Structure 1
Amino acid sequence: MYRKQIVYDRETRDFAMYLDGELVGFARTYHEAEVTLDQLVFELMSGQYFREAA
């Protein structure tokens, strides 16, 4: 299973999104970060991410 982490960055006032300890992006709100990480994990688990990237 993937490990998701969301950390508020006081300097940028954004939420940093981490997947398995690697920064994958920023979001304006905590909710947006949650939804984005959930979508990314779903794509990774379904294999869709790799098919579209090729």
Structure 2
Amino acid sequence: MEVDEISEDGCTTPKPSDCQIPAVSVCPPPPKKKAFHDTQCCSLSEVVTAFGLE
């Protein structure tokens, strides 16, 4: 890509297609939610004990 001299009008936006951001044809999928109960999470009995509901 060649560099043009600055015109008397000032700076301009480049017009060639290789300078433009490509159009997105398909939207990406939404992020997936994590599972409610994970194996690394504490058990329900630990939660009940922590809140003093036992």
Could you tell me the TM-score, scaled by structure 1's length?
Answer: 0.22
Structure of larger gyration radius: 2
Higher helix share: 1
Could you tell me the TM-score, scaled by structure 2's length?
Answer: 0.22
Q: Which has the higher contact order (CA 8 A, sep 6+)?
A: 1
